[in-house]
A = this chain, B = another copy of it.
Amino acid sequence: MHTPLFEAVPNFSEGKDTTKISRITEAVRAVPGISILGLHSDADHNRSVLTFAGDEDSMLSGAVALAKACAAELDLASQSGEHPRMGVLDVLPFVPLEGATMDDAVRLARRAGETLGTLGFPVFLYGSAATASHRRALPDVRRGGYDGLASRLEDPLWKPDYGPETLDPHMGAVAVGARPFLVAFNAYLDTDDVGVAREVARRVRESGGGLPAVRALGFGVGGKAQVSMNLTDLRQTTIPVALTAVRRAADDLGASVESTELVGLAPLEAVLQTARHYLGLRELDAHHVLEMRLYGSSDSRSL
């Protein structure tokens, strides 16, 4: 077995100054055992999303390096952008990857939160790491951004889980959470009618009585109606099953799916599920994939 691995997808409040963004990213990259998987900076939102992975102790060191770099490079008091933000290091979710469970990710999030608290960040645990149900949903935690949080801080219901109980206007606060890996899968319809996409989304998502572990919204993107989905548990709903439901709902509404896209990263299992589904394969797992045998895991290397 592998050492349990985790992914972190922190959002920090700088999307324009490439020198600062680079210094923050390099601070994380310098931590032994950390792989940087992605960086997406958005100038309009003045915000960057970094993706990195590693084992528990490396991730903890990575989180500390990230938080220190954000505090050193960024100043919330002089930052502005469309996106509501409550801190220089705004959100820090941990995701269980290979060999890790959600409980492992919760433990990691809490260890990271405790350490960030000692660095002077008020820390709010959210998602599966939340310590109260009203603090579970990220939008609730960061409602109103920095100012909203500042006004709630006197309320015992909004006492930080770790760190100071007052906000430093330069650093702000951070939401540290644990959540499942999300597969972001979009279907583009052969219509520009966003209403169709919204209705398809309503029918396929869990909250509309559709498929378990599916969130969906309808958008207009590049003149096409787009059904944008988050699959939060591939054991419950796979990509082919979600797509079949979208095709069926679109068909009911006189539309069809023209193309699809996977946004960001997908676990290999998502692709293997898809191949198994459509090919009728008796079995197909990571051990059948050449590259995974070459690079994947220590046990297959030592076959």
Chain A contacts to B: CB under 8 angstroms: 5, 7, 29, 35-39, 53, 97-98, 181, 239-240, 243, 257-262, 264-268, 271-272, 274-275, 277-284, 286, 288-296, 300-303
State A291–B295 Cα separation when bound (angstroms): 9
Query: Is A266 within 8 A of B288, CB to CB?
Result: yes
Query: Is B280 within 8 A of A260, CB to CB?
Result: yes
State A302–B274 Cα separation when bound (angstroms): 29
For residue A239, which residue of chain B has the nearest CB? B279
Query: Is A295 within 8 A of B296, CB to CB?
Result: yes
Query: Is B290 within 8 A of A266, CB to CB?
Result: yes
For residue A38, which residue of chain B has the nearest CB? B303
Query: Is B303 within 8 A of A282, CB to CB?
Result: no
- Chain B residues positioned under 8 Å from A257 (CB to CB): 280
State A301–B29 Cα separation when bound (angstroms): 10
Partner of A268 from the list B279, B290, B300 (CB cut-off 8 Å) is B290
- Chain B residues positioned under 8 Å from A290 (CB to CB): 7, 37, 97, 181, 265-268
For residue A300, which residue of chain B has the nearest CB? B37
- Chain B residues positioned under 8 Å from A264 (CB to CB): 288
State A261–B281 Cα separation when bound (angstroms): 5
Query: Is B303 within 8 A of A37, CB to CB?
Result: yes
Partner of A279 from the list B240, B280, B288 (CB cut-off 8 Å) is B240
* 7 cross-chain pairs, A with B, having the tightest CB-CB distances, nearest first: A278-B278, A295-B295, A274-B275, A265-B290, A268-B291, A37-B293, A267-B290
| A–B pairs, 28, beta carbons within 8 Å | A7-B290, A35-B293, A35-B301, A36-B301, A36-B303, A37-B293, A38-B293, A38-B303, A39-B303, A98-B294, A239-B279, A243-B279, A257-B280, A259-B280, A259-B282, A260-B280, A260-B281, A260-B282, A261-B283, A262-B288, A265-B290, A266-B290, A267-B291, A268-B292, A271-B271, A271-B272, A274-B278, A295-B296
Query: Is B274 within 8 A of A258, CB to CB?
Result: no
- Chain B residues positioned under 8 Å from A243 (CB to CB): 279
State A7–B267 Cα separation when bound (angstroms): 25
Query: Is A286 within 8 A of B280, CB to CB?
Result: no
